Amino acid sequence: MDKDEIEGGARAFAGKAEEALGEATGDEDLQREGMRHQAAGEAQKLFGAAKDAARSASHTAGAAFESVRDSVAGGAGRAPEDRAAAPASDGAAWVADFVREQPVLALFGAATLGYALAFLFHGGRR
The number of beta carbons lying within 10 Å of the beta carbon of residue 39 is: 13
Evaluate whether 2 touches 52 at the Cβ level (below 8 Å).
yes
Which one has a higher pLDDT value, 4 or 66? 4
Outline where DSSP puts E strands in the chain.
none
Q: How much is the pLDDT for 53?
A: 82
Dist CA 44 CA 51 (whole Å): 11
pLDDT digits (tens, 9 = 90+) for 28-67: 999 999 999 999 989 988 888 888 888 887 778 777 777 7
Whether 122 shows a pLDDT value over 90: the answer reads no
State the chain's mean pLDDT as an integer: 79
Evaluate whether 59 touches 96 at the Cβ level (below 8 Å).
no
Instruction: Please state, in angstroms and as integers, the Cα–Cα distance from residue 92 to each residue in 2, 28, 53, 95, following that order.
Output: 24, 51, 16, 5
Evaluate whether 15 touches 37 at the Cβ level (below 8 Å).
yes
Based on its alpha-carbon atoms, the radius of gyration of the chain, rounded to whole angstroms, reads: 22
User: What is the number of alpha carbons within 13 Å of residue 53 lying toward its C-beta?
Assistant: 17
Dist CA 71 CA 78 (whole Å): 10
